[in-house]
Amino acid sequence: MSWTKLASLPDPEGFAGAFAGVSWGTLLVAGGANFPEKRPWEGGTKVWTDTVFALDRLQGAWKVVGKLPRPLGYGVSASYRDGVICVGGSDLSQHYSEAFRLEWRAGRLRTLPLPALPIPLASGCGTLVGETLYVAAGQESPTSKTASRRFFSLNLSRASSTWRELPPVPGPGRILATAAAFSGSFWLFGGAELHTDESGLVKRRYRQDAYQYTPERGWRQLADLPSPVVAAPSPAPTSKTEIFILGGDDGSRVGLLPQEHPGFSKSVLHYDPKTNQWARDGETGVARVTVPVVRWGKRWIIAGGEARPGVRSPEVWSFEL
């Protein structure tokens, strides 16, 4: 992969869990959350933003172009027909079911409503496959002790379309899985299962199972990932023949104090859908989690994200496969 650093987001901390996509040729990054005053281990409070940033060319500078309907992050986003589709998400107090489309054109930001999800949902995953947006798994409320298996689709080509509930994701419910679109199918990798320990605390089990969904055949289990992957940049970038998982949290550093955490995995996993085989080859140019991946022209973009627990980054990177 060929990595290039672009202009950083105009915020000293940056954001995790933002929405991102391309509208009329301009890259938009909207919402997300950070710790602007203190790190969480110093008593800092997570703050959600409603700011929308725009970048009109690779070598350009970011500018603030408007606001979301409310501070919001950790939803699903996708570029579609010169707009950015934003679905679900959360703020400090609750999770949301709303969906809307952002358009930046002729110096004006428009927010257009879309049908709401049947349930509130944050920390799920999703992507566009053809004209259909898929949203899977996640968490229905900040206090949920288990994650969701529910799976929805919305045909964006039909003005009167509403969300359809599809067969649930196999295996346990999960948050922060990685989605992908490849060869007319929806793909789902890893994520974190939620469970309650003996003391009543909600803990994570790191998953390495993987699945493919096609409308004609439903779900199919794939070969397990070589190691668990949680919160990797999503949707996963693809070439003509492979799907690439860029780092993520593999669980190997669970238990470290946040201030001692060295950062997340840089390992690149290659999946070949034709052979149903995984390979581990190379490293990412930058390790970020809870961040969307956007296709912009010939390049892929990772804007912001979490550099290590409780620490965001304003850096923006592009890469070409």
Distance in angstroms (rounded) separating the CA atoms of residues 126 and 5: 26
Question: CA dist 68 to 31, 83, 221, Å?
Answer: 7, 14, 37
Interatomic CA distance for residues 304 and 32, integer angstroms? 10
Q: Is the pTM of this model over 0.85?
A: yes
Say how far apart CA 190 and CA 175 lie, in whole Å: 9
User: Which residue from 79, 7, 15, 10 is spatially nearest to 291, judged by alpha carbons?
Assistant: 15
Question: What integer pLDDT is reported at residue 95 of this predicted model?
Answer: 98
Residue 159 has pLDDT above 90, yes or no: no
pLDDT at 182 over 90: yes
- pLDDT at residue 255, as a whole number: 87
Residue 37 per-residue DSSP state: S
pLDDT above 90 as % of the chain = 95
What is the residue-averaged pLDDT of the chain?
96
Higher pLDDT, 2 or 228: 228
Does residue 222 have a pLDDT over 90?
A: yes
Burial profile 190-224: b = 16 or more Cβ within 10 angstroms, e = fewer: bbbbbeeeeeeeeebebbbbbbbbeeeeebeebee
Can you give 1-16 as a three-state secondary structure string? Answer: CEEEEECCCCCCCCCE
Residue 289 has pLDDT above 90, yes or no: yes
CATH number of the domain bearing residue 96: 2.120.10.80
101 close to 159: Cβ distance less than 8 angstroms = no
Number of H helices, E strands in the chain: 0, 29
Mean pLDDT of 154-168: 95
Give the count of domains, the chain.
1
Q: Are 167 and 96 in contact (CB under 8 A)?
A: no
Domain interval for residue 140: 2-320
